[in-house]
Structure 1
Amino acid sequence: MKLVTVFPKSGACGLPAFPRFTCCSTATGRPRAMIDGETLTNRRTAAASALASRHLSRPDSRTLLLIVTGLLASYLAVAHRAVRPIEAVLVWGCHAQRVQALADTLEHQGLKAKPAADLTDALSVADIVSCATTSREPLIVGQHLRPGTHLDLVGAFTPEMRGPTTMLFAAAACS
């Protein structure tokens, strides 16, 4: 059995929303392990994204666009680089200071990363777009993507949260 604690308002205190996972014996119910929930969630999410990319993105994908500046972002970049020959990482977000901090972090991890000043321009050159957002406004417009771009959507967990526009989904369904 896995018991997950979720505290959505803990971010206001600088704490993770998923502080821990407790794994219990199915025979006795006794706790067997306590695992850092934030790290486990970030690693699992990034691994799932990279696995999808390995099967769905073009093998020659070299440019990754991250539309995310939170803790998950660096995990996503490293995971995608593990399955594709990523040479450049573009970072876009609503807060310039967080975008620059992430680009600097990725540079220190050995990735060639830089802030993307314009989302439309970044979408037009990216081979893989990894969008991990809880934005309620659509950010990705289909006609800004190049044909064959792999779109990795993570983070939205309610119908109101949007990464791409509804028309992008409709166009994908028809192709």
Structure 2
Amino acid sequence: MAEAIAAVRDGFIGLARGDFEVPVRTALCDGRFLVMSVHHRPTATAMVKTLSLNFEGRVPAIDGTVVWSDLAGTDHLVADAAAVTTLRTGAASGVATDLLAPPNASHCLLIGAGAQAADQARAMYAVRPLQRLTIVGRSAGRAQALANQLAEELPRVSVVVGTDVRDVLGDADLVCCATTSTEPLFELEQLRPEVHINAIGSYRPTMRELPDPILADATVYVDEVEPVLQESGEVIHAIAAGALAESELTEIGAALLSGAAATGRTVFKSVGVAVQDWAVAQLLARD
């Protein structure tokens, strides 16, 4: 995870500098099929990912293929898209958390226990002195299974399963939302004055993890503005309601370049960009 976070951080910085050619991804069947591609100009390498998403009972919920190519040679790296996607999404949250969260943040609330959840927790562990991890999911069984798995991986962390988000929010200084919810998961009044939120679950306009008042109150960072405006249900809703302006969205790459530190409540909203996949794929290709 630490290597993936470093690679994705470099990718975001490269995106801000204009090092990448990134077409808008193709979304079919209301976002259930995705095709993402990217070209890294300095190295003449490219990545194409094809993905299908089905969170309604299919196992695995994320399936597809990543292909990484280099103009200097004829070999291609082919990798499992589910593994790359969960790792790069966790790494992106790790980059944002490392930049934006309080340095001493030690209690993470993880909402969701599905395919993306474990790498969100691993990323928080990699960048902050995590002592407590509370998992709340729709399925108590899946949440407990994830808690058992992470308790073995994260030895210094007390990992517990919660039953109600509202019971935990006032105590958490890190919140990771990894759900397919179409309704906000909690309200502004339930949050601490200084809290960092990673919202990575929603990737369609019909999906929404955060309510308008949180986006109005917090400093909002995104992976890339254009796809967020097209695909993030919470951002689309907040702008339409007048709670948020497009000009208030800051790309994480630009923030990394400027080194600007945020205070108060911060949100990182990610719908996923191909640069993140390229960053992990080039690590695999290098090895």
Same fold (TM over 0.5): yes
Please report the TM-score for the alignment, with normalisation by the length of structure 1: 0.89
Query: Residue 118 of structure 2 aligns to a residue in which SS?
Result: helix
Cα deviation for residue 16 of structure 1 reads: 4.5
Q: Does structure 1 residue 113 correspond to structure 2 residue 159?
A: yes
Cα deviation for residue 27 of structure 1 reads: 6.5
Q: Does structure 1 residue 143 correspond to structure 2 residue 198?
A: no
CA distance in 2, matches of 1:11, 1:18: 13
CA distance in 1, matches of 2:60, 2:138: 21
- 2:126 equivalent in structure 1: 82
Q: How is 1:35-54 mapped onto 2 (pairs within 5 angstroms)?
A: 35-54=79-98
Q: Does structure 1 residue 91 correspond to structure 2 residue 135?
A: yes
Q: What are structure 2's unaligned runs of at least 5 residues?
A: 1-45, 220-243, 245-263, 265-287
Q: 1, 5, 24: which is aligned to 2:69? A: 24
Cα deviation for residue 58 of structure 1 reads: 0.4
In structure 2, relative to structure 1, the CA distance for the partners of 1:42 and 1:9 (3 Å cut) is closer
Q: How is 1:50-69 mapped onto 2 (pairs within 5 angstroms)?
A: 50-69=94-113
Query: Residue 7 of structure 1 aligns to a residue in which SS?
Result: strand
Q: 52, 76, 83: which is aligned to 1:7? A: 52
Cα deviation for residue 172 of structure 1 reads: 2.5
Please report the TM-score for the alignment, with normalisation by the length of structure 2: 0.56
Number of residue equivalences: 174
Cα deviation for residue 11 of structure 1 reads: 6.7
Percent identical: 32
Q: Does the 8 Å contact 2:112/2:138 carry over to 1?
A: no
Query: Residue 151 of structure 1 aligns to a residue in which SS?
Result: strand
Q: Larger relative contact order (C-alpha < 8 A, sep ≥ 6)? A: 2
For residues 52-87 of structure 1, give each alpha carbon's deviation from its aligned partner in whole angstroms, at most 9, with x where no partner exists: 111110011010100020122121111111111000
Query: Residue 199 of structure 2 aligns to a residue in which SS?
Result: strand
CA distance in 2, matches of 1:71, 1:60: 28
Cα deviation for residue 171 of structure 1 reads: 2.5
- 1:159 equivalent in structure 2: 205
Q: Does the 8 Å contact 1:66/1:73 carry over to 2?
A: yes
